[in-house]
């Protein structure tokens, strides 16, 4: 049985090398990395369920056939990377939209998780997860959405928190709310174009006292960089309130 599992692991590695060598989209690479990382993490976890070999991949149990099907599906859906000789220009509205999209992602992880169905619950490692029924409902969609505006290292870091997991392709998440900084007021934005492939998105926010009067201002710089696949992504991001 372990020979079968090791064979699948080697097959995943081969696919990953093939994808990287052929310069596929970063979101596809990230998804493959997740599968490989999950498989190596649980390589000794074999279970027989209903007379069928089942392995633990990430936070879900999958049969060999199911995992092979997912790999085949991923290979069919991989889109070749289109290299751009010239940097794709962004107007101010498009830059603002990228910032708002990144902000939304961070809110899902650090302020309030996506809405879920409390009747569809699964417990994993002393955590209760619920099926997400918000604007994104599949784990794959979440990874692709995140990777469209954030550097892959940021995506990996956020996903490593395990606030969201993949259960047979469906997105499950924990329920958490922390609120935002109450002593922050209005924000203003300035776009500073450093070069053709780097932009500073400068955010200035009001600092309030207990009576909500403006007593100071804080300024934060977020660097938006152009990637070879034609995407503009923040290479660092955080919440300022």
Per-residue pLDDT reduced to its tens digit, 73-99: 555 544 444 455 578 889 999 999 999
- 241 within some domain: no
**Which pTM does this prediction carry?**
0.66
| Contacts of 196 by beta carbon, 8 Å cutoff, 6+ apart | 87, 226
**Contact between 209 and 215 (Cβ < 8 Å):** yes
Per-residue model confidence (pLDDT) at position 183: 87
Is the domain of 165 the same as that of 192? no
Instruction: Name the residue range of residue 222's domain.
Output: 184-234
> Quick one: the chain helix, strand, coil %, rounded to 5?
35, 35, 30
- 199 within some domain: yes
Per-residue model confidence (pLDDT) at position 21: 45
Q: What b/e sequence results for 167-188 when a residue is b if at least 16 CB atoms lie within 10 Å of its CB, and e otherwise? A: beebbbbbeeeeeeeeeeeeee
Per-residue model confidence (pLDDT) at position 181: 75
Is the domain of 13 the same as that of 69? yes
What whole-number distance in Å separates Cα of residue 146 and Cα of residue 156? 10
Per-residue model confidence (pLDDT) at position 207: 95
Rg of the chain, C-alpha, whole Å: 21
Per-residue model confidence (pLDDT) at position 218: 95
Low-confidence ranges of the chain (pLDDT < 50): 2, 4-6, 18-24, 37-51, 77-82
Per-residue model confidence (pLDDT) at position 80: 44
Per-residue model confidence (pLDDT) at position 44: 41
- 164 within some domain: yes
Is the domain of 168 the same as that of 201? no
Per-residue model confidence (pLDDT) at position 49: 47
Number of folded domains that form the chain: 3
Is the domain of 52 the same as that of 22? yes
């Amino acid at each position: 049985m372990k020979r079968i599992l090791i064979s699948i692991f080697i097959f995943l590695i081969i696919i990953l090398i093939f994808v990287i060598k052929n310069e596929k989209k970063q979101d596809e690479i990230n998804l493959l990395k997740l599968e490989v990382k999950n498989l190596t993490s649980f390589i000794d976890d074999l279970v027989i369920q209903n007379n069928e070999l089942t392995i633990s991949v990430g936070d879900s149990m999958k049969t060999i056939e199911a995992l092979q099907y997912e790999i085949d599906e991923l290979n069919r859906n991989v889109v070749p990377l289109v290299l751009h000789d010239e940097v794709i220009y962004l107007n101010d509205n498009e830059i603002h939209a990228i910032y708002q999209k990144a902000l939304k992602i961070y809110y899902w992880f650090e302020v309030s998780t996506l809405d879920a169905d409390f009747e569809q619950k699964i417990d994993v490692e002393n955590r209760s997860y619920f099926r997400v029924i918000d604007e994104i409902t599949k784990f794959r969609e979440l990874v692709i959405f995140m990777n469209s505006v954030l550097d892959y290292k940021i995506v990996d870091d956020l996903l490593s928190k395990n606030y969201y997991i993949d259960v047979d392709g469906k997105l499950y998440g924990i329920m958490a709310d922390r609120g935002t900084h109450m002593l922050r007021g209005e924000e203003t934005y300035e776009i500073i174009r450093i070069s053709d492939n780097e932009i500073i998105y400068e955010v200035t926010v009001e600092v309030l006292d207990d009576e909500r009067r403006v007593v100071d201002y804080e300024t934060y710089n977020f660097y938006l960089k152009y990637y070879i696949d034609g995407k503009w992504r923040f290479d660092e991001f955080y919440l300022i309130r």
